[in-house]
Chain A
Amino acid sequence: MGKLLGALKDPEPSLSPIYCVDELPPKEREELERLAGPADRMRTVVDSDLLSSGQYGRCRLIVCDRTLFVEENGERGERIPLADVSSTCCRDFVGNGLLEVRTRDGRRHEVIRYSKTTSESFQEISEQINRTLSLSDEEVSAQEEEVAKTSGPKEAKGTYRCPNCGYPLGYATDACPKCTSKRLIMLRLMRLTRAHMHLAIIGIVLAIVFTLASLGPGYLVKQLIDKALKPVGEPNLSVAARGWRLFVIGWILLGLLGVRMITAHFRIKIMGTLGVRIVADLRRKLYRTLQRLSLSYYDREHTGRIMSRVLSDTASVQRFVTGGLQQLVVHSLKVVGIAVVLFVMNWRLAALALLPIPVVVVLGKKFSRRFRLIFRSVRRKFATLSASLSETISGMRVVKSFAQEDREIGFFESKLGEVNDARLAAVRAKAKFSPAVTFMMGVGTIAVWYVGGGQVLGEALTLGTLILFISYMQQFYNPVQQLINLTEAFQESATAAERVFNIMDMPSEVADHDNACQLEQVRGCLELEHVSFSYDEGNPVLKDITLTIRSGEMIGLVGQTGSGKSTLVSLICRFYDATKGRIVLDGTDLRDIQTRSLRQNIGMVLQDSFLFAGTIKENIAYGRPEATEAEIIRAAKAANAHDFIMNLPDGYDSEVGERGVMLSGGEKQRVSIARAILKDPAILILDEATSAVDTATEASIQEAMDRLVCGRTTIAIAHRLSTLRNSDRLLVMDNGEIIEEGTHEELVHKPDGVYAELCRIQASFASDVLAVI
């Protein structure tokens, strides 16, 4: 009991699972001191959420002055004197980790287990202990290597959490959806409307007029009945007079109808225009944002998702602004107006009429929530369906070559089935809800007829007033229902708007700071100083690279896939910023240079020579649209592309097709080389295509490359022996580090050299091929 009370009264433990012993409540401290023994003083406590048995539970690692031990369920595990400890390390597995302590007698002790949630704190404590043990750097890295061999696969760190509310975000730069209220989003959307405020105001005014014109007929019908058809309190009125009144009222009704029609016409036009303009603004801003976002955003988001943001989320916002907003105004006005009128006329009947309303509202809210969930599920499933469809279509080559068409059909059908099931669930829910509401409202109407009828019979109420009542009642229920539906639409477009704003708010990670300078007269001298980089924490792709590239030098990067070659090149182009260290161009840190200016001075010929849909001329001149025809032809000639281009019927004006589909691989390569030649950059990045082309094309591409590279600082991710031989210097990379450096001649003769080995393999392969010929 005391323990329970104690637990209740305990202050909230600090968010960090590592804490000083002093922060413990006294009772716990006493218990732990008992376990520690009299000879020792406790220092640090680290909480874990996983027991040694693998059950969830709390246990703790206690580090004292002289020993360390683990406390589990009030009992002490093995106690290890710190003097005996040679090192500690954390071994990571999937879903959990272990803290291991090595003692001087060579034994290894698995001290405590922890789940991924607390793994950071155990890393930290392990480092702390190692520091106090004064382990040297070599010992530490040697140990790390060993540990890595016996650990499980490394996984990236989990999620980042919103600093405000602790909500787990997908990525550090995401805005927290919990912290941004839906109201704020709508306000922001309204601000976007500001530019078109006049349209919005006119639209609302028209909505008001429309509403009034819709309510008018009800009253006129009352007058019609009470003054013309069955006059009350005027027994001597002649038929002619009544006929005249009928006539007048008829015309007024017609007039009102006309007013309604005209206001509706203009209202639809204006609100429609407003919606189209707002969405156009939104899409424009969104596209601009997309262009300035850094590459890491594109790395982690699917193209399909980005496209759906720009196209369908904005459409959802448009639908709301065009339709939803004006409906909100119209229906609210109607509801309020009618309720007031009804109560003024006959409060007893009004109360009866409005009785079903609360019931309808409650039912409506319940069902609307359910609808939303079902709808969300439908949307999710549909998104999965379309994503897999787009994937299959773009990967059709693979599907066909592995003859998996039937399997793909099976997948599609099962996903389609899920979408249909979800849609049917929505249909079923609606089938329950709508008729039930209609029933309730029907009940209200009948009640009014009954009671009101009684009043008419008793001459307490005119027939006309009763009819007016009924007709207004009918007009009342509909807007109420629509308003309930609107909250749904509101939620949906608020979510869509949120996603759109999320993107617009994203900071570009590789942003220019205010004093970034422009480059002039680039010599192309690059220096990398202790550069390290990881795409996500915990997985370094580049480790402490230091390198100098002289102006005009050609560097060949060699290494297996994953050794970090492409990453190094991406950092030079500043697609990402180095996590540690810096890169300097002609004496200026890359981060102090305007990104635009930097990239204007770097040319790239990549493996996948991406060409935009457009003419060959436009593609070659992509980096320099002001280039003259003569310059374009010169560049194409240098790239050995002019001849095949002239063989096309439209010459340089030929369309290249989406992604250059009209051209062969070798032709695309040469167009992209021409593009780089025309740009004439000081620094060139080459990522050689590994795919083979026929020897004739290969030779002409090689020649084109040679012309391109001449005199420029070039960094080539090289595969061809010829490129390697031509390089001024070769850098052999492995696992994020440069392991060999030198010219081809030096390295190929190095005994036990990695490069030498690679060459032997390639040469033997080549010779096999030659033998066949």
Chain B
Amino acid sequence: MADDDSFIPAPDVRFSRDADGRVVMIQGNDTRMIGNLLSAFPLTRPGRMVSVRDEEGQEIGVLDDIRGLDPDSLSILREELERSYFMPRITDILDIREEHRVVTWEVVTDRGERKFEVRSVRQNVRRMGRRRLVIKDVDGNRYEVRDWMGLPALAQKLIQIYL
């Protein structure tokens, strides 16, 4: 069985950026360069179980919960996790049109307006829970609808068919 050394309790560590902006993890007297920070459960538990990897891509350990970090480390981690799993949130839907089984969405996200295409709706529009959707477009970009019932009325009507 894997021992618990592979889990890193958040209060034990700090993160900061070096002069070049690369992330450094400080644990006790140990300082290590971090290559990558990946969420193990990016869709269901984004801030928990973060795999911390060195520059070779080897996993150093799994950080249990980023909320246990100090504020500076927390914001660094948030930035890093957003980069490793980029998923804008859709706040409004302007249009959804289907042609030859490719669905074109025109949406407004928290990162700005966006137009994208989705095929195989069954596979690429995932329902996570009762009100949440995760959409993957033909290029692999991901979008999230936190609560489809919280969208404006027209948007709800448009999206209903794809639920």
Contact = CB atoms under 8 A, between A and B. Distances in A.
A617 interface: yes
Interface of A is mostly: helix
A2 to B, nearest CB: 80
Contacts of A677: 1
A102 interface: no
B48 to A, nearest CB: 6
Contact of B39 (A615, A643, A651, A655): A651
A364 to B, nearest CB: 45
A629 B48 contact: yes
Interface string B1-16: 1100011000000000
A69 interface: no
A638 interface: yes
Interface string B111-138: 0000000000001001000000000000
Contacts of B7: 630
B103 interface: no
Contacts of B123: 655
B59 A629 contact: no
Given A629-B49, A630-B7, A633-B49, A651 B2 contact: no
Contacts of A637: 2, 6
Interface in A614-665: 615, 617, 629-630, 633-634, 637-638, 642-643, 645-646, 649-653, 655
Interface string B46-75: 001101000000010010100000000000
Contact of B49 (A615, A630, A643, A650): A630
Contacts of A292: none
A649 B41 CA distance: 10
Contact of B41 (A617, A638, A642): A617
B41 A629 contact: yes
A621 to B, nearest CB: 12
Contacts of B45: 629
A650 B2 contact: no
Interface residues of B, number: 22
Contact of B38 (A633, A651, A707): A651
Contact of B62 (A633, A643, A649): A633
B41 A652 contact: yes
Contacts of A629: 40-41, 45, 48-49
Contacts of B44: 615, 617, 653
Contacts of A633: 40, 49, 62
Contact of B40 (A649, A652, A655, A707): A652
B158 interface: no
A220 to B, nearest CB: 46
A645 B59 CA distance: 13
Interface string A209-230: 0000000000000000000000
Interface in A561-589: none
B94 interface: no
Interface of A: 615, 617, 629-630, 633-634, 637-638, 642-643, 645-646, 649-653, 655, 677, 707
Interface of B: 1-2, 6-7, 38-45, 48-49, 51, 59, 62, 64, 85, 123, 126, 140
Given A651-B40, A677-B1, 14 more contacts: A615-B44, A617-B41, A629-B49, A630-B49, A633-B40, A637-B6, A638-B2, A646-B38, A646-B40, A650-B43, A651-B42, A652-B40, A653-B41, A707-B1
